[in-house]
Amino acid sequence: MSNSDDNLDKNQKEEVNKTIDSEENMKTDVNSEDELLKAQQVAENAVKESLQIISDVINS
């Protein structure tokens, strides 16, 4: 194999690695977004429960 072929293989490997890294980052972003949505839901539920407790106390 010639030197230019070696360089081409190295460049292809680098591109593949960059693509894999990029895909991993996208997966991480999606997971982070899912976690944020879950946290938001938990917070919203906590606020609803707090408001219900306040309402119950006022009406008792």
pLDDT at position 29, please? 79
pLDDT at position 1, please? 53
Structure tokens at 7: 């360089």
Using alpha carbons only, what angle is made at residue 34 by residues 29 and 20, rounded to the nearest 5 degrees? Answer: 30
Amino acid identity at 57? V
pLDDT at position 31, please? 81
In order along its 60 residues, the chain shows pLDDT tens digits of: 567 677 778 888 888 888 888 888 888 777 888 899 999 999 999 999 999 999 999 999
